[in-house]
C-alpha cells in the first residue's frame, strides 16, 4: 500500500520524506490556503522533495478552465498529478488530460457510481473521502469496500483507490484490509502510526537491562 501525505506544509513533507516511507503528496485549495504561500511555488518545492505523485488541484469549474489550469500545473514538474473535482466538467477534463498522458486524481468522491465514472474517464487515482462520510453518519469504509470490489470486477480499469479524508489509524488499517491501493494521511496520523505504548515500555526495559551489562556494541 502506498502512503501519501495530505498537506502543503513543506517542512512536514521534508521530514516525512526523510523516513523513506513517503510515496507521494496530496494538496487541495484549503491546504494551500492554510500554508499561506503561493500555490505554484509550494507545488514546485514539494515536487523537488519527493519523486512520487504530487496532487495539485484545479480551481476553475468549467471544462475549458480546468483543462487550461491542469495543463499549466502539469508544466510545473514531471511528477505533478492534476486533481479535478468529481463533476461533469471534472470528468471531461480527466478524460482529456489522461488522453494527453497527464496523471489525474479525481477528488471529492462520495459514491461508488462516481468512482466508476472516474475510472471510465481514465483517472489515475480516485479519492473517496471517508472521514467526511463518517461525519454525516455514513460509514466511509463501506464506500471503499464497494469501489475496491467494483474495480476488481473490471481488470481493464486501472484507476487506483486513494483513500482520502483519513482521520485516524483505524481508517488506514481498514483501508489496507480492503485492498485500497493508496492512503493519503495527515502528518499527525502518519506519526501516530509509529507509536505504541508497549513499544515505548518495552524499549525502556531493554535499555535499562542493557545498561546493567556495562557493554557497548560499538
Ligand atoms: C484529499 O486529497 C483531501 O485533500 C483530504 O484528504 C481531505 O481531507 P479532510 O476531509 O480532512 O479535509
* pLDDT, mean of residues 164-175: 98
* Percent of the chain surpassing pLDDT 90: 100
Give the closest residue (by CA) to ligand 1 atom 1: 164
Give the closest residue (by CA) to ligand 1 atom 9: 165
Q: What is the pLDDT of residues 87-111, one digit of tens each?
A: 999 999 999 999 999 999 999 999 9
Closest ligand 1 atom, residue 55 Cα? 2
Q: What is the pLDDT of residues 183-194, one digit of tens each?
A: 999 999 999 999
**139 secondary structure, DSSP code:** -
Q: What structural domains does the chain harbor?
A: 2-213 (3.20.20.70)
Q: What is the pLDDT of residues 35-80, one digit of tens each?
A: 999 999 999 999 999 999 999 999 999 999 999 999 999 999 999 9
CB of 174 closer than 6 A to ligand 1?
no
CB of 107 closer than 6 A to ligand 1?
yes
Residue 204: its pLDDT value, please?
A: 98
Residue 34 appears among annotated catalytic residues: no
CB of 184 closer than 6 A to ligand 1?
yes
CB of 164 closer than 6 A to ligand 1?
yes
ipTM score here? 0.97
Per DSSP, the residues of 26-77 read E--HHHHHHHTS-HHHHHHHHHHH-SS-EEEE----SHHHHHHHHHHHHTT-
**1-4 contacts at long range (C-beta below 8 A, 24 or more positions apart):** 1/175, 1/176, 1/180, 1/181, 1/182, 1/183, 2/52, 2/181, 2/182, 2/183, 3/182, 3/183, 3/185, 3/190, 4/52, 4/53, 4/55, 4/162, 4/182, 4/183, 4/184, 4/185
Helix (H) or strand (E) segment spanning residue 98: helix 88-99
* pLDDT, mean of residues 160-165: 98
Residue 61: its pLDDT value, please?
A: 98
Give the closest residue (by CA) to ligand 1 atom 12: 165
Closest ligand 1 atom, residue 26 Cα? 2
Residue 144: its pLDDT value, please?
A: 98
CB of 93 closer than 6 A to ligand 1?
no
Amino acid at each position: 500500500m502506498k502512503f501519501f501525505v495530505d498537506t502543503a506544509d513543506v517542512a512536514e513533507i521534508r521530514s516525512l520524506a526523510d523516513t523513506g516511507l513517503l510515496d507521494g503528496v496530496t494538496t487541495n485549495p484549503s491546504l494551500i490556503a492554510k500554508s499561506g504561500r503561493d500555490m505554484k511555488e509550494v507545488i514546485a518545492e514539494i515536487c523537488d522533495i519527493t519523486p512520487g505523485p504530487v496532487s495539485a488541484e484545479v480551481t476553475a469549474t468549467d471544462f475549458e478552465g480546468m483543462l487550461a489550469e491542469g495543463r499549466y500545473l502539469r508544466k510545473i514538474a514531471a511528477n505533478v498529478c492534476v486533481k479535478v473535482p468529481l463533476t461533469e466538467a471534472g470528468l471531461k477534463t480527466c478524460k482529456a488530460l489522461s488522453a494527453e498522458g497527464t496523471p489525474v486524481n479525481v477528488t471529492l468522491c462520495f459514491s461508488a457510481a462516481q468512482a466508476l465514472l472516474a475510472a471510465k474517464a481514465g483517472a489515475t487515482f480516485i479519492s473517496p473521502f471517508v472521514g467526511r462520510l463518517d461525519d454525516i453518519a455514513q460509514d466511509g469504509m463501506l464506500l471503499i469496500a464497494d469501489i475496491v470490489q467494483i474495480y476488481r470486477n473490471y481488470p481493464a480499469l486501472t484507476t487506483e483507490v486513494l483513500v482520502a479524508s483519513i482521520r485516524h489509524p483505524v481508517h488506514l488499517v481498514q483501508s489496507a484490509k480492503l485492498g485500497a491501493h493508496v492512503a493519503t494521511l495527515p502528518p499527525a496520523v502518519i506519526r501516530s502510526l509509529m507509536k505504541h505504548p508497549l513499544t515505548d515500555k518495552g524499549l525502556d526495559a531493554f535499555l535499562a537491562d542493557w545498561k546493567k551489562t556495562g557493554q557497548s556494541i560499538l
